[in-house]
Amino acid sequence: MTITRVFADTNTLYPFYVCDLLLHCAEEDLFRVPWSEDLLAELLEVVPDRGARAGTP
């Protein structure tokens, strides 16, 4: 038995208060969140004041 892996799509990493909650839960070993470069790139597009707003949630 291993810890459940949860895919965090960009809409769970923004707004940041949701991201904060999600990552703190992962930090408590409730689940693992796998990352990818694509995910971070998409997040940067969604964040206000950071480049094009292509992926508005």
Asked if 34 touches another protein (CB under 8 A), the answer is no
Q: Looking at 34, 37, 38, 48, which residue binds another protein (CB under 8 A)? A: 48
# residues contacting another protein (CB under 8 A): 14
Are 14 and 44 spatial neighbours (Cβ–Cβ below 8 Å)? Answer: no
Which amino acid belongs to residue 50? Answer: R
Residues 6 or more apart whose Cβ sits within 8 Å of residue 56? 46
Helix (H) or strand (E) run with residue 22 in it: helix 16-27
With respect to another protein, which residue has the nearer C-beta, 3 or 41? 3
Q: Which residues bind another protein (CB under 8 A)?
A: 1-3, 15-17, 20, 23-24, 27, 29, 32, 47-48
